[in-house]
Amino acid sequence: MRALCFRGDGGGPEVATVPDPEPGPGQVLVKVAAAGVCHSDLAVMSVPGEALPFPLPLVLGHEGAGTVAALGAGVTRWQVGDAVAVYGAWGCGLCAACAEGRENYCPRAAGLGIFPPGLGAAGAIAEYLLVDDARHLVPLGDLDPVRAVPLTDAGLTPYHAIKRTLPKLRPGGTAVVIGVGGLGHVGVQLLRALSPATVVALDVSEDKLALAREVGAHETLLSDEHAAVAVRALTDGLGARAVFDFVGAPATVALAGAVAGLDGDIVIAGLGGGRLPVGFGALPYGTTVTTTYWGTRAELIEVLDLARTGAVEVHVETYTLDRAPDAYARLHDGKVHGRAVILP
């Protein structure tokens, strides 16, 4: 089959022919209808190949949706042709975290060499995706796979980040979203759907701020050296009840710290390498700082249910498999409007 591969030899991702996967016991083969392009893939591809903890070449893509193409021995709850989304944060399946569906925080996966598709295991930007266990499939129902596939990460990650801060987001409070890309433009919509907070979105690009307003941000600001003062001004000097950093760079985590209010939550989901000092004098009293990773299987089901109500609409740019390298180039240049989705 054809797939988008990262070789780790200094070049970018390229389309190649790889062996056709076949489902073993308990596994499911999915015919991929749509696969999302995430900034985390650029982070993976910036690491020298020999420093990665998994073998190369790697088939990219950790957002996948499609239809069941073949069942491995013993898989009984799915049928060929079923429409599915793939939960990508694969855990060991045996520990307490996995039993709760919180496979994103499985403490054993890394030690067992279990990696998500596209982030160690063969990924979704391919004609077929081998899903290691039938439990990783979630029914897609009548959702359009192209618009729904980003919900498996660009939706699930902000959903998980936002859900844990909801007790802080009361009427009159402000939620700040930094970075209105794939994750952030869904994050703004989730905040509007789930909370009464005023949503302030920041980005370095005017186009992204226009997108933020289109999807429901009450206020938008350029993310520059004046941003912290501007957010303080919008909040009567109080700062934000919750800050979601979907960039995670040194400048944005500093901004997150500067705009957080007393007893606020800062959630850093971006992998930009920023570090935020914690301690008396560094942040307002009561401020929590959390990094979050992806989300739980239950939360994926909830995000898809929310999309069925029309409360969340992902903005997508679509590409053929042959043009997938262009999608990564545009993502690298900050040009993607919403999420890039490959139709293999």
Interface residue list for ligand NAD (CB under 6 A): 38-40, 43, 153-154, 157, 178-184, 202-205, 208, 223, 246-249, 251-252, 269-272, 292-294, 331, 334, 336
Q: Helices H, strands E: what count in the chain?
A: 10, 16
Distance CA 299, CA 190 (A): 12
Give yes or no for a cis peptide into 57 (omega within 30° of 0). yes
Distance CA 229, CA 312 (A): 30
Residue 44 engages Zn ion in binding (rule: CB under 5 A) = no
103, 132, 153, 265: which one contacts Zn ion (CB under 5 A)? 153
Q: Tokens 């069942």 sit at which residue?
A: 71
Judge whether 286 and 262 are in contact, CB under 8 Å: yes
CB of 82 to ligand NAD, least distance (A): 26
Residue 104 engages Zn ion in binding (rule: CB under 5 A) = no
Residue nearest to Zn ion (CB): 38
The two tokens of residue 190 are 């989730």
In 3D space, the residue among 223, 216, 289 whose CA is nearest the CA of residue 257 turns out to be: 289
**How far is residue 309 CA from its own chain's centroid?**
20
CB of 106 to ligand NAD, least distance (A): 14
Q: Quote the Cα angle for 28-106-188, to 5°.
A: 85
Distance CA 38, CA 118 (A): 10
Residue 202 binding result from ligand NAD, Zn ion, none, given CB thresholds of 5 to 8 Å by partner type: ligand NAD
From residue 109 to residue 148, the character string flagging contacts with Zn ion as x (rule: CB under 5 A) and all else as - is ----------------------------------------
Residue whose CB is less far from Zn ion, 153 or 219: 153
Residue 40 engages Zn ion in binding (rule: CB under 5 A) = yes
Helical (H) or strand (E) element with 253: helix 250-259
**How far is residue 160 CA from its own chain's centroid?**
10
Residue 244 binding result from ligand NAD, Zn ion, none, given CB thresholds of 5 to 8 Å by partner type: none
Judge whether 92 and 102 are in contact, CB under 8 Å: no
Residue whose CB is less far from Zn ion, 91 or 173: 91
Residue whose CB is less far from ligand NAD, 40 or 195: 40
Residue 220 binding result from Zn ion, ligand NAD, none, given CB thresholds of 5 to 8 Å by partner type: none
CB of 120 to ligand NAD, least distance (A): 14
Residue whose CB is less far from ligand NAD, 131 or 202: 202
The two tokens of residue 69 are 């193409």
Residue nearest to ligand NAD (CB): 181
Half-sphere exposure of 17 (CA within 13 A, CB side): 0
Distance CA 4, CA 40 (A): 15
CB of 13 to Zn ion, least distance (A): 15
Residue 89 engages Zn ion in binding (rule: CB under 5 A) = no
Q: Tokens 């070789």 sit at which residue?
A: 7
Residue 208 binding result from ligand NAD, Zn ion, none, given CB thresholds of 5 to 8 Å by partner type: ligand NAD
Span from 39-47, 92-100, 173-181, 228-236 in contact with Zn ion (CB under 5 A)? 39-47
CB of 64 to ligand NAD, least distance (A): 14
CB of 179 to ligand NAD, least distance (A): 3
Residue 294 binding result from Zn ion, ligand NAD, none, given CB thresholds of 5 to 8 Å by partner type: ligand NAD
Phi and psi based region of residue 191 (left: phi greater than 0; alpha: psi -120 to 50; beta: remaining): alpha
In 3D space, the residue among 124, 12, 26 whose CA is nearest the CA of residue 72 turns out to be: 26
Residue 189 engages Zn ion in binding (rule: CB under 5 A) = no
Contact set with Zn ion (CB under 5 A): 38, 40, 153
